[in-house]
Amino acid sequence: MNECLNGINDTTRIWWVQAEAVVGFLNGYEKNHKEHRYLEAANSVWNYIKTYLIDRRTGSEWYWALNQDRIPLNRPIVEPWKCPYHNGRMCFEVIRRAKHDS
């Protein structure tokens, strides 16, 4: 879910929200390793990203957003407000934390 405003749920899945959700859930897990639900949530969001949000076309990256039916919205792959910062940061954070835990 993207957000809820005035009681109305916005079910759009936006690339940066999904990427930051992975990092946020990993933060929760690092703060309390007994709470496996955070790690499970991070894995769940990552699986959603891998299945639906990554644009598999050659030379592409992640879709900007998907609607509630998981159909990509007609938005540019990269533009001034869409660049690989959030998804790149998520990947670096996961790699760094995986190295730290091993």
Q: What's the pLDDT score for residue 83?
A: 84
Position 51 scores a pLDDT of 97
- Segments of the chain scoring below 70 in pLDDT: 102
**Residue 54: CA atoms inside 13 Å, Cβ hemisphere, count?**
12
3-state per-residue secondary structure call for 7-64: CEEECCEEHHHHHHHHHHHHHHHHHCCCCHHHHHHHHHHHHHHHHHHECCCCCCCECC
Domain boundaries, the chain: 3-101
Position 89 scores a pLDDT of 92
